[in-house]
Amino acid sequence: MEEGRLAYRVRTAEASDAEALRAGIGATLAHPDHQGRRESYGGAASRGDLLVLERYDRPGQTWHVAGFVECHMRVDDNLSIRDVGTASDEPQTGVVRYLLDQAFNAFRPIEAQVKIRRDATAWLEIFRAIPGFYLEGEEYRRPHYWTIWRWDRQHAREAAEPPQPPAQQQPRPPRPPTPPPRGPQPNGARPASVGPRPNGAPRPAGAPRPNRRPPSRPAKPR
């Protein structure tokens, strides 16, 4: 990778890189408050668990340490990220993301785990923004609380998918009107919805017969 007059390379660290790492690294995941530095990088380098990012200065024709990542691949294909560092007082997001990409490409894990101090805001923001990482829990290691972050392929795929628009509820069709009740009604009354019968139409069952007698005439005076 080349940027202007600078070039970068990632390689597996060697035991001879320990002094340059101690001198060039400023911000580390394991010591986010700059109150301490790790004692040695030799053990991780001898196990092959340390990847180093170097920057090449063309005018000076020398390589300078730009960052590192220490991770261990377990037998269950779970990658344990133990430490990350950059050559600056605050972690550089681009350097951290690039080192993690190189580590994932090299080890091809099924899952990964990293522990970040609860008060390390800058580191939390970096890992929270990486697709596939999610907060799994917390633990207390004197004198600090540590958050436990896990990565897996399922969460990475879901984070890479574009968000789906919410499903729109289809309007319900209108309901047909309720048919009038049928059959005999209380007290022999017709249903309220039944109008007068046309001539010759059959009388509903149970309906009273109409009174066909003519009205009585008034009596004549004697």
Residue 204 maps to a domain: no
Residue 55 maps to a domain: yes
Count the domains in the chain: 1
pLDDT at 3: 45
**What pTM value is reported for the model?**
0.70
Q: Decide if 66 contacts 55 (C-beta within 8 A).
A: yes
Residue 76 maps to a domain: yes
| Domain span including residue 28 | 2-160
pLDDT at 68: 97
Residue 192 maps to a domain: no
pLDDT at 188: 55
pLDDT at 4: 46
| CB proximity list for 4: less than 8 A, separation 6 or greater | none
Q: pLDDT means per 10 residues in the chain (222 residues)?
A: 66 92 92 79 92 92 94 95 95 96 95 97 97 97 95 92 73 75 60 52 59 61 54
Helices and strands (H, E) in the chain, number of each type: 5, 9
pLDDT at 1: 47
